[in-house]
Amino acid sequence: MVVGLGLCILGRKLFKPAICLIGMCAFVFISLLFFYSVFFNVNTQAYVGWVVLSISIILGDGVGIFLYKVSRAGVAVLAGWGGLCLGLILYSAFLYKTES
């Protein structure tokens, strides 16, 4: 809420930095979810998780800067991410009870 309030007050000045930050966070989340679900198991060493986190943050910085430079693509990616999150929320709240 604090970040949203700052974006609300400063408006367009923080639009591109917000795209960069949210794009980086989305990339880190997706990459960590992928690696933890596909490659890791109970026997994986703890330092491997920290290495994967570090590398995904570095790559996420690159993705965030790219989305900063190409702001139209950044807005499209963020809209898709928001749609995905909204769809997951709706499915978790209501649609799981429907039978197909």
Whether residue 25 has pLDDT greater than 80:
yes
- pLDDT score for 100: 57
Query: Which residues 6+ apart lie within 8 Å of 81 measured at CB?
Result: 22, 26
Q: Which residue has the tokens 């000045």?
A: 13
Question: Global pTM?
Answer: 0.71
- How far is it, in rounded angstroms, from Cα 61 to Cα 21? 8
Average pLDDT over residues 3-9: 76
What are the tens digits of pLDDT across the range 45-71?
Answer: 888 889 999 999 999 999 999 988 988
